A and B are shown apart, each in its own frame.
Chain A
Amino acid sequence: MAGKIVGIDLGTTNSGIAYMEGGKPTIIPNAEGKRLTPSVVGITPKGEIIVGELAKRQAVSMPERTVRSIKRKMGQDYKVTIGDKDYTPQEISAMILTKMKRDAEAFLGEPVQNAVITVPAYFNDSQRQATRDAGRIAGFEVSRIVNEPTASALAYGLDKSKEVKVLVYDLGGGTFDVSILDIGAVDGDTVYEVLSTSGNTQLGGDDWDKRIIDWMVEEFKNQTGVDISKDLSAMQRIRDAAEQAKIELSSVMQTNINLPYITADESGPKHLSLDLARSKFEKMTDDLVDATVGPIRQALSDAKLEPEQINKILLVGGATRMPMIQNIIRDLFGKEGDKSINPDECVALGAAAQAGVMSGEVTDILLLDVTPLTLSIETLGGVATALIERNTTIPTRKSKTFTTAADGQTAVDIHVVQGERKMIADNMTLGRFQLVGIPPAPRNTPQIEVTFDIDANGIVNVKARDTATGNEHSITITASTNLSDHDVDQMVKDSEKYAEEDAKRADEVQTRNNADQMIYQGEKVLKDLGEKVPADLKKEFETKAAELHTAMESDNLEKMKSGTEELQQIIYKISEKVYGSEGQGSAGPGAAGFDPSQMGGASATGPTAGPSSQEDEENVVDVDFEDLE
């Protein structure tokens, strides 16, 4: 392969880039000489794009032209408006990558074409795809998308070859990931296998900062009576000071936060001066620490391991420098977490190691990764029938045979979703397509073979084949929020235009359908479970369902969204109560224990599926496809 391959940790708050130098992963400093680049993008009024430290410098003066934490929006249908132009998360991320590419080229003195980019293990397909697109917009050939914890293990494990079970605890700025890896030796090669992953995409070091910020605002209000939370400039200074205090409290027991002239009122200038003890800080964030325990237990149970079976715990992400994190690890595992590699740089170094594998510089490592979420297709009644279970080692390929649900049905709609929920509506749609031209036959007669293929990058390919005619159709998954090749090309030329109205409309329909489906599902669950449902939960459900109905009638989108969410939580609670530890295993009875290959009426798609519960005329993929031909 021509040229070097770099490894990039595209983080929520900071990003890093590394390459293999003499067989050793090495961080490439940016143009400012720093080893990390803040993941902050600014666009000046003149239209100049500035990234990293420079963008941070203008954040206070131009908050409306500065974007932070864009990673949280990756794969979502979201736009940032700066000036009179809209940007997708992919484009913003691409600006960060472009700077890193340019700086790396200047440092290495040669063009850099290929990159390995890391993503949180929890990222779903559309988020991975969006990351890949960002790389392409930045002019990279993205050689591989790698899970961050896997990269960390690579950084730690390059020269270790004895069989170990490793837990990676990665608490970054904006995301939390736990992965359990099995590192072993096969025929002299070191093999990394990811046994399980879990995490929380909305938990990170920023949340600890946030607690300090809230506390500072509160204390300041108590002392002076002034609410500074609306004062953006003051808040910027408070934010920086909070982060600084957090960092200091990792090495000292008490710190002083001092912000002179933070604001002013009629009585003159106001100063902020507060003491924060580590114990106090730990008390106000102990629920955040606890929130990392659930995913750890989840990952352990998915990997069928007990804490004492874990040989090594890797601490990754700057937030793991906090003593409270090291303490919880010690409490849970009875041993110290390993932090011998700089937690801020670990992921980028591992990405570079993976790049080394790909360029042939490192030859004795074979990386086995897993798919983080279950992949399913929609079958009769809006049920998600799994083809590939979560934590399946990839690359992988699975097939199942389905049939039609109606007499004379000549087309089936293949609706591919990702997620752990039983009902289609609760999972995330990755894509849909139709297989047409099925010879008319009584229902349950045609055989449609559906094959899922996941390549080493976690990119999904779905194929449906009518075994009678050999007729087939396939898609490579790009969810609605992802970009086609054409889209990316357009963006590269900086001329992408989105149909705003369409997106908004689609969102409305989706929201409405989701709400409808949620009520339907809940009612179904209640009906199916009958008396097993606790009366109070049933009552709660009925009240919330009625509220949601009202919201739907009054076209209140926000209420619909929140109502759906609330309802979902109640249904969760009901399922939890009734099924207990069975969890996801058994769904609404209709779907339980049902074998797709001989499904009476479970069609390969929802010809009669999800939509059957939705009368919404907007629902394009509707019931009877018989008429399609």
Chain B
Amino acid sequence: MDFIKDPEAARIGIKAIQQHLDKILSIEGVRPIETVGREFDPYYQHAAQRAHDPEKPDGVILEEYQRGYMLKEKVLRPAVVCVNRHEVPTAETGNDEDIDVNSDNNGE
């Protein structure tokens, strides 16, 4: 198939393949982990970023950077996300150099 001549056909074709794959995976019990709008849970998501949005509830996921997947009840790969925090009082750590202990809320 010539993608350049007929990009629309290519798009439809690939979409069909994707749907097919999704279907096979869902039959096998693989499904994406829900993220945006849900409360952050380290069982399912990996926080890569923290942001400050007073409009949204504390601890809620604002953005998904990388999709995570479950195989039935098992996490195949956690989703990588950005979490909303209203206020982060003090970082605690056993190692003084590790996390800066005197952090304020780290909004953007």
Residues on A lying within 8 angstroms of B by beta carbon are 12, 42, 44-45, 50, 54-55, 57-73, 80-82, 89, 92, 174, 206, 210, 229-233, 235-237, 239, 264
Q: Are the CB atoms of A232 and B46 closer together than 8 Å?
A: no
Q: Are the CB atoms of A50 and B90 closer together than 8 Å?
A: no
The residues of A that contact B40 with a CB separation of less than 8 Å are 58, 61
The residues of B that contact A67 with a CB separation of less than 8 Å are 92-94
The residues of A that contact B89 with a CB separation of less than 8 Å are 64
The residues of A that contact B50 with a CB separation of less than 8 Å are 60-61, 232-233
The residues of A that contact B47 with a CB separation of less than 8 Å are 57-62
Known: A44-B42, A60-B48. A68 touches B100 (CB 8 A): no
B103 interface neighbour in A45, A232, A264, Cβ under 8 Å: A232
The residues of B that contact A73 with a CB separation of less than 8 Å are 94
Nearest CB of B to A324, in Å: 21
The residues of B that contact A71 with a CB separation of less than 8 Å are 94
9 residue pairs from A and B, CB less than 8 Å apart: A12-B95, A45-B59, A50-B42, A61-B47, A61-B85, A62-B88, A206-B97, A231-B106, A235-B100
The residues of A that contact B49 with a CB separation of less than 8 Å are 60, 233, 237
The residues of A that contact B100 with a CB separation of less than 8 Å are 229-230, 232, 235
Q: Are the CB atoms of A58 and B42 closer together than 8 Å?
A: yes
Interface centre among A45, A58, A64 (most CB of B within 10 A): A64
Q: Are the CB atoms of A206 and B95 closer together than 8 Å?
A: yes
List of 6 A-B pairs having minimum Cβ-Cβ separation, nearest first? A69-B95, A61-B47, A70-B94, A61-B83, A63-B91, A58-B42
Size class of the B contact interface (CB-based, 8 Å) = 20 to 34
Nearest CB of B to A25, in Å: 28
Q: Are the CB atoms of B95 and A230 closer together than 8 Å?
A: no
Answer yes or no: B3 CB below 8 A from chain A CBs: no
Q: Convert B60-92 into 0s and 1s, putting 1 for each residue whose CB lies closer than 8 angstroms to a CB of A.
A: 000000000000000000100001010011111
Interface centre among B45, B50, B108 (most CB of A within 10 A): B50
The residues of B that contact A232 with a CB separation of less than 8 Å are 50, 88, 91, 99-100, 103, 106
The residues of B that contact A235 with a CB separation of less than 8 Å are 99-100
The CA of A417 and the CA of B55, in the complex, are separated in Å by 57
The CA of A65 and the CA of B103, in the complex, are separated in Å by 13
The CA of A54 and the CA of B78, in the complex, are separated in Å by 10
Answer yes or no: B98 CB below 8 A from chain A CBs: yes
The residues of B that contact A65 with a CB separation of less than 8 Å are 92
By beta carbon, the residue of chain A nearest B95 is A69
With A60-B47, A62-B47, A233-B49 given, can you name 19 additional A-B contacts, CB distance below 8 Å?
A42-B42, A57-B78, A59-B47, A60-B50, A60-B83, A61-B40, A62-B88, A63-B93, A65-B92, A66-B92, A66-B93, A69-B93, A70-B94, A82-B92, A92-B94, A229-B100, A230-B103, A232-B99, A236-B48
Q: Are the CB atoms of B91 and A64 closer together than 8 Å?
A: yes
Nearest CB of A to B73, in Å: 13
Nearest CB of B to A245, in Å: 17
The CA of A60 and the CA of B40, in the complex, are separated in Å by 11
The CA of A71 and the CA of B98, in the complex, are separated in Å by 13
The CA of A73 and the CA of B97, in the complex, are separated in Å by 13
By beta carbon, the residue of chain A nearest B103 is A232
A80 interface neighbour in B85, B92, B97, Cβ under 8 Å: B92
Q: Are the CB atoms of B97 and A68 closer together than 8 Å?
A: no
The CA of A529 and the CA of B105, in the complex, are separated in Å by 55
Nearest CB of A to B102, in Å: 9
Q: Convert B22-60 into 0s and 1s, putting 1 for each residue whose CB lies closer than 8 angstroms to a CB of A.
A: 000000000000000000101101111110000000010
Q: Are the CB atoms of A69 and B98 closer together than 8 Å?
A: yes
The residues of B that contact A174 with a CB separation of less than 8 Å are 95
The CA of A65 and the CA of B42, in the complex, are separated in Å by 12
Q: Are the CB atoms of B103 and A63 closer together than 8 Å?
A: yes
The CA of A82 and the CA of B94, in the complex, are separated in Å by 12
The CA of A59 and the CA of B45, in the complex, are separated in Å by 11
By beta carbon, the residue of chain B nearest A263 is B108
